[in-house]
């Protein structure tokens, strides 16, 4: 089966929206130091472009987790694959995500971050697929693009670890 990728959000559209979103979120943090936390690996591309719009002090940290989605979401069964470098206590934290789908990944990440007692935590995601949300009461403060229930790749997002390097977001389909 051949993997075909159709452009959903072009390089130019990404650039325009990320610049706009960066300026908007910068307003919130211009007078305070923010720790941006990118969830590996998907959010890295977005973080690097987004962070360039900030004019205040920005620290960056990276987190990788895997959760056992089979269990109840309150079980707290989170495996930290790569922990944070910084102590978050009393800090302003901005979680930067590639995509929020069911919300399970984000919920896991927020549980971990909140346990470190930050002053406040906000969430910024490049893509949001609200139709697939399972976790309710999940606050996503800033969204780049809201998309339908499509499987997308590129600009950090992968299919079997491939296509993260594309400079656009595409929809994947298979052809014989
Ligand atoms: P959630 O836990 O269901 O919200 O899923 C979030 C994670 O699943 C993302 O961080 C991605 O790694 C992955 N994911 C969800 N939707 C897509 C997609 O359309 N393409 C690629 N990865 C996706
Ligand atoms: Mg991810």
What digits encode the pLDDT tens for the residues 11-51?
A: 999 999 999 999 999 999 999 999 999 999 999 999 999 99
Q: Which residue is closest in CA terms to ligand 1's atom 8?
A: 101
The ligand whose atoms approach the alpha carbon of 104 most closely is: 1
The mean pLDDT of 85-106, rounded to a whole number, is 96
Q: Can you tell me the distance from the alpha carbon of 109 to that of 81, in angstroms, rounded to the nearest whole number?
A: 12
Q: What are the b/e assignments for 77-102, b being 16+ CB within 10 Å?
A: ebeeeeebeeebeebbbbbbbbbbbe
Q: State in Å: Cα 32 to ligand 2 middle.
A: 27
Q: Could you identify the atom of ligand 1 that is nearest to the CA of residue 98?
A: 10
Q: Is the pLDDT of residue 106 over 80?
A: yes
The mean pLDDT of 121-138, rounded to a whole number, is 95
Q: State in Å: Cα 59 to ligand 1 middle.
A: 25
Residue 102 beta carbon below 6 angstroms from any ligand 1 atom: yes
Q: State in Å: Cα 3 to ligand 1 middle.
A: 18
The answer to whether residue 83 is catalytic is no
Give residues with Cβ within 8 angstroms of 37, minimum separation 6.
Answer: 60, 61, 62, 63, 84, 93, 94, 95, 96, 109, 113
Q: Is the pLDDT of residue 73 over 90?
A: no
Q: What is the pLDDT of residue 68?
A: 57
Q: Give the strands of the sheet with 2-9, arranged side by side.
A: 2-9, 169-175, 152-153
Residue 18 beta carbon below 6 angstroms from any ligand 1 atom: no
Residue 164 beta carbon below 6 angstroms from any ligand 1 atom: no
Token output for 17: 């929206």
Catalytic residue among 101, 158, 167, 176: 101
For residue 79, what pLDDT band results from cuts at 50, 70 and 90?
A: confident
pTM value is 0.93
Q: Can you tell me the distance from the alpha carbon of 37 to that of 109, in angstroms, rounded to the nearest whole number?
A: 10
The mean pLDDT of 88-117, rounded to a whole number, is 95
Q: Is the pLDDT of residue 121 over 80?
A: yes
């Amino acid at each position: 089966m051949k993997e075909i990728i159709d452009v959903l959000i072009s390089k130019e559209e990404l650039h325009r929206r990320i610049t706009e979103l960066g300026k908007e979120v910068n307003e919130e943090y211009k007078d305070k130091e923010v720790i941006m936390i990118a969830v590996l690996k998907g959010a890295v591309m977005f973080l690097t472009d987004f962070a360039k719009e900030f004019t205040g002090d920005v620290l960056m940290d990276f987190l990788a987790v895997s959760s056992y989605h089979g269990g109840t979401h309150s079980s707290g069964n989170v495996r930290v694959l790569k922990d944070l470098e910084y102590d978050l206590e009393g800090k302003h934290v901005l979680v930067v995500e590639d995509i929020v789908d069911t919300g399970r990944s984000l919920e896991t990440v927020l549980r971990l971050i909140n346990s470190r007692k930050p002053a406040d935590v906000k969430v910024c995601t490049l893509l949001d697929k609200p139709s697939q949300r399972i976790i309710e009461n999940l606050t996503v403060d800033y969204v780049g693009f809201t998309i339908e229930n499509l499987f997308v790749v590129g600009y950090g997002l992968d299919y079997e670890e491939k296509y993260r390097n594309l400079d656009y977001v595409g929809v994947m389909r298979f052809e014989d």
